Amino acid sequence: MILVLNFGGQYSHLIARRVREFGVYSEILPCDVSLKEIGKLKPDGIILSGGPAGVYEHNAPTMDRKILDLGIPIFGICYGLQLMAKFVGGEVLAGKLKEFGKKILYVKKNGKLLKGLSRKEQVWMSHGDLVTKLPKDFEILASTDSCPIAAFENNSKKLYGIQFHAEVVHTPKGSQILKNFIFDICKAKKYWHMKNLSKKLIKEIKKEVGKNSVIMGVSGGVDSTVAATLMHKAIGNRLYCVFVDHGLIRKNEAEEVKNFFEKKLKFKHFYFVDASILFLEKLKGVTDPEEKRKIIGHTFIEVFESKVIELEKKHPTIKFLGQGTIYPDRIESAQPTKYASKIKSHHNITLPDKMKLKVIEPLKEFYKDEVRKLGKELKIPAEILNRHPFPGPGLAIRILGEVTEERLKILREADYIFIEELKKSGYYDMTWQAFAALLPVKAVGVMGDARTYEYIISLRAVTSIDAMTADWAKLPNELLEKISTRIINEVRGVNRLVYDISQKPPATIEYE
């Protein structure tokens, strides 16, 4: 097995998942784990994750220095490389360089770690500190134009490091580097696989829920649908699915979801709750993104608990709240480790402290692509599995600033046109996620020889595998022009469109 020590990095679980994809078992432990605990696991190798801190910061995450002397191959990624360099007597320059996104790696020597790489490779960077000096017995393998030590190795001490992120898909040869470490350096063997994972999860749900019942929020998206299907197979008609229309959903969404659950999945208990007035009233005047998410998350629970009271008269066994939370939600909300940096609070994990229901989240350790594989195993229709992600807070976090009925109406229509044209052109299935966002500013325009002063719509389309990193989709100019023309002509209140070409990181996919 390969052990991953978590220093609070956004990609710690992604590292472990990559290892598992290669057929080798991987486990994640906090970076301050004891030598005794590591000894019990008998890992073939250890990977030190990235993290949001700098190695010289007060209370920066660290590990037992003696781990480097275990004689086990150790591979530091980003922060892990910097910490390793600090421990062995190297020099780390703090806060002088900011590298985010794609960079060109210049390979000086392949060594064992970079075997199979060409002299120039694309890599994905996300760091602020860098290593500037190492002891003489360390070999520098690669650099970038601004990072002199981007990869190193010391075969006698079995220490290896890279400043970039090999675990993300935007480092094309990243898998090769990980395989070099796992198989050539650690000599690990393949024996782990995910076969019949749905059966395992269904068994776990049965055990946890027992004879009780579950009320579950569903949106019609991939995550909540797969989670609900797992629940339904585990407990049958003791699952009560609730679709809450918070007034922040897309055009025609409510009817589509209702038809799907009742007619295609044939769930016995499906309830539609129109709470749009309640949500919009609570969001009135709110502009802070975190406050929006908190209000939406708490109001969801209020609505669910109100529905439970109503249902308890006939079904007194509802004790659980089912959610389709996946791992990226928890990572961005800094749930897995005390060292993680909170990026934004996802509504489904911003829950009240005194909530009456116990939360059950069967997908909380999985990424979007794994959830889709599970859905396929569960025979969920492709039309659902291939849907683009839609956040729980809905259009509220795609309207920057205050949410109003006027802004919702404008955005709903603009988003509908964008997605409709993507589907017509065939680009919907070629992008991982696409949507329109409304910016809280107005610009001057001219229509019919008259001055206009209207909103700006930003179009966002990205390619990704697991939402941990994303690149902007290279849509044809002709398609963007057609979408722009339609929205400006058909949506009253808009006179200007922009196309977002930001990568993640440094941007997130959603705006708030």
Active site (catalytic) residues:
78, 165, 167
Nearest in space to 461 (alpha carbons), one of 496, 497, 428, 420 = 428
DSSP summary character for residue 75? E
Amino acid at position 348, single letter:
N
DSSP summary character for residue 268? S
Distance CA 174, CA 102 (A): 13
DSSP summary character for residue 92? E
Nearest in space to 44 (alpha carbons), one of 73, 19, 18, 22 = 73
Distance CA 394, CA 237 (A): 28
Distance CA 419, CA 407 (A): 18
Amino acid at position 30, single letter:
P
The angle formed by the CA atoms of residues 348, 259 and 266, to the nearest 5 degrees, is 85
Distance CA 512, CA 50 (A): 24
With contact defined as beta carbons under 8 Å apart, do 205 and 230 qualify? yes
Question: Hey, which residues does 482 pair with through a beta bridge?
Answer: none
Burial class of 102 by CB neighbour count within 10 A (0 to 12, 13 to 18, 19+): middle
Distance CA 402, CA 408 (A): 10
Q: How many other C-beta atoms lie within 10 A of the C-beta of residue 340?
A: 22
Coil vs helix vs strand at 203: helix
One-character DSSP codes across 208-274 = HHTT-EEEEE--SSHHHHHHHHHHHHHHGGGEEEEEEE-S-PPTTHHHHHHHIIIIIS--S-EEEEE
DSSP summary character for residue 188? -
Nearest in space to 328 (alpha carbons), one of 166, 496, 466, 122 = 466
Coil vs helix vs strand at 273: strand
